[in-house]
Amino acid sequence: MLRELTGEQRRQLIDTQQVYEAWQRADDQRQRRFAGSMRWVERSGAEYLLRKVRQVENSLGPKSSQTEKAFAAFSEGRVQNKDLLAGLADRLNGLAKVNVAMGLGRVPAIAARILRRCAETDPLGKQLLVVGTNALFAYEALAGVQITSGLTATGDIDLLFDSRRRISFVTGERVSQSGLIGVLRKVDRSFKPLQPRAFRAANRDGYLVDLIRPRARHVLKDNATTSITQLADDLDSAPMKGLQWLINAPKVEAVAIDERGYPVSMPTVDPRMFALHKAWLATRPDRSAVKAMRDREQAEAAARIATGYLALPLDSEHLKGLPGALLDAAAATLSLPGPSGFSEDSPIEPDW
């Protein structure tokens, strides 16, 4: 079920993650320190320094040694920042080709593009978390393994919406202009909700994006925010039982590699809670046999990664205090061997 990365693959993954993290820091500087423009204007016989960000332009004061230094620091810093970003981008392009050649590409390209666009507007990791099958790619990257079966094959991405988390004013302004559906359309213009205010959007290739949230204990008293914006064509999250366990779980984040070899940040839930939730889903009487079998296998994979590679205990001592439904599911579904790296059905002959 699990195959450990080779030493060369691990080195390549670490190099890519480090370069990507450097690019993210530089891009954050671009957006926070060097956004907009500065210019000098003459007013009433004196020169003033103006700073424009988006549609708002403010005066930083009359010309003085202080404002001259601010203008020089901004101008020179932006040039240096752009040069740094260009160099790191070129480095990532080179690493991407090697990543594909070394078999490190895992995350579907469309999913990775969606997550990067979500990250640009900040809700990712704050109000939105990756759950479902795609979360397994994050666990793989954290552990330095790959799940060898078809358990990671998927034609959709599930985004868990946490309405309790607040986002900044700037983020809210960015997102409110187009909503989550606008973010998706920056990736692929063909994305459309299946119906007005639906929880699911699809593109012309049939790739699905689901926005989901925990179902309230008292449905009639559910006053929680259900979407990122109130735009008529934005997605409206679907309430689902059991998601409260995920939304309250500890969070982890990993930089995984997409099919084209490029890195992508994936914020998600603790792999132990993923495993327990999948184990619980497998026991539900309304779950189809095909889905239940896949749930059990995904639960087993996440549990093996958590206990065998990430040193995250999943025993009675650490499970106490969890709901009985999760404990029963864990007992019925999960078996937790050590990190052998191979399963009983692993081939014992080379691919001659």
Bridge partners (DSSP) listed for residue 159: 130, 211
Q: What is the pLDDT of residue 184?
A: 95
- The four Cα atoms 330, 334, 340, 343 give a dihedral, to 10 degrees, of -160
| Strand, helix or coil for residue 349 | coil
Q: Is the pLDDT of residue 171 over 70?
A: no
| Strand, helix or coil for residue 237 | coil
Token pair 């891009």 is found at 27
User: Which pairing describes strands 208-214 and 200-202: parallel, antiparallel, or unpaired?
Assistant: antiparallel
Shortest CA distance to 244 belongs to which of 215, 210, 270?
A: 215
Q: Are 209 and 159 in contact (CB under 8 A)?
A: yes
Distance CA 255, CA 257 (A): 7
pTM assigned to the model = 0.86
User: Which residue ranges make up each domain of the chain?
Assistant: 24-100, 106-269, 270-339
Tens digits of residue pLDDT in 301-332 = 999 999 999 999 887 677 777 888 888 877 77
> CB neighbours of 231 closer than 8 A, spacing ≥ 6?
176, 178, 179, 181
Tens digits of residue pLDDT in 136-168 = 999 999 999 999 889 999 999 999 999 776 554
